Copies of this chain bind each other. A is one copy, B any other.
């Protein structure tokens, strides 16, 4: 089963998509299997992170923004805006694909884990994540 989910982002931030994924897993009827994701963009990425305390997510964003600042003179690829090349770097530092086992009809995440789409552009966009669920 391959499906596409769309997430409208509005600004640079982490957007939790765990609920949408759990719904897809539920619909698939698969009890034991694997749920694999690909985000179809190179200026946003995927991340499994703590979803309990929002301060952890804020700190993550601040840390990455300091490591990968805008207006870095090293960049030559600047025609798409000052947040474009930093987005590609952050995408390379995190990941574009994830594979999450399914147990008892649910994503086998840890107690404090959520799946996030990390939007790296300021203006946001309509983002597409391809989801494969198989046995």
Question: Could you tell me which A residues sit within 8 Å of B by CB distance?
Answer: 1-2, 32-34, 36, 38-42, 47-50, 53, 55-56, 58-60, 62-64, 66-68, 72, 74-77, 85, 88-89, 91-103, 108-113, 128, 130-132, 134-135
Contact = CB atoms under 8 A, between A and B. Distances in A.
Closest 5 CB pairs of A and B: A40-B110, A55-B77, A101-B132, A48-B96, A108-B130
Q: Oligomeric state, in number of copies? A: 3
Given A48-B42, A48-B96, A56-B77, A2 B102 contact: yes
Interface centre among A40, A42, A53 (most CB of B within 10 A): A42
Contact of A92 (B60, B62, B110, B131): B60
A56 B85 CA distance: 7
Given A2-B32, A92-B47, A113 B60 contact: no
